[in-house]
Amino acid sequence: MTATVLCERITTEIAVVTLNRPDKLNALNAELLGELDATFATLSADANVSCVILTGAGEKAFAAGADIAAMSAMSTEQARAFSETGHRVCLRIERAPFPVIGAINGFALGGGCEIALACDFLYASDKAKLGQPEVNLGVMPGFGGTQRLARRVGIGRARELCYTADTVAADEALRIGLVNAVVPHADLMTKARETATKIASKGRLAVAQCKRVLYAGADVPLDVANALETQSFAMLFGTKDQAEGMKAFLEKRKAAFTGV
């Protein structure tokens, strides 16, 4: 049986995770979500991983949504369980101890957009289209889309996209802050790998703490968030990477970080 999620280590520090149902436009079913969860659990347990790129197989889609054929006969209880699975996978991606770059190579709709929103930031092919069209089917986003979309683009824009089911092309996604950059389709993975390589060259523990504090501080009062930052800032001064980074700066050479 072909795996629905592929994981390739392109270096010791960088992995590319690929949603692999191209004949179904990488639609999200229970099997794919389970494999995606397991893949990120394994990567998160590997202290060598500094950055992960998440993309979709084929030329048309990152993930065109959840598998409607599988969803159509779900009971209320089954729908709740499916939603809980999607939330668990998105949290796994969002809380991974390394940045996750979403490389949006085509359609990222519904559940596919929600998986993308769990990434730290997104690069889009000029062929990409993103949106939350669930109300067309008489349902609503169920993997955190209403919440992460509002936090990414603002509550007013999120309301408009969720209520109308409109999809946005790559340039519009860039304009509203949904993606960080738009590149020619053929250059998408090159762009993602270049950024992943840049991130991997930095202090891994420092990047991980940046991610943790940015995530934890987003929805708490500023004084609480600043206290989290101070705690993490101080903690990093007990690491070998801090000593090496500052020594390398003073010696005018490139730091050799080890992640300890």
Catalytic positions: 114, 134
3-state secondary structure 147-165: HHHHHHHCHHHHHHHHHHC
* Count of other CB atoms within 10 angstroms of residue 178: 26
Residue closest to 226 by CA, chosen among 238, 214, 237 = 214
Q: Distance (Å, rounded) from C-alpha 115 to C-alpha 112?
A: 5
Residue 73 host element (H or E): none
The distance from CA 176 to its chain's CA centroid, rounded to whole angstroms, is 18
* Helix segments in 4-75, DSSP class H: 30-44, 68-71
Residue closest to 63 by CA, chosen among 109, 101, 122, 29 = 109
Given a contact cutoff of 8 angstroms between Cβ atoms, the answer to whether 124 and 173 are in contact is: yes
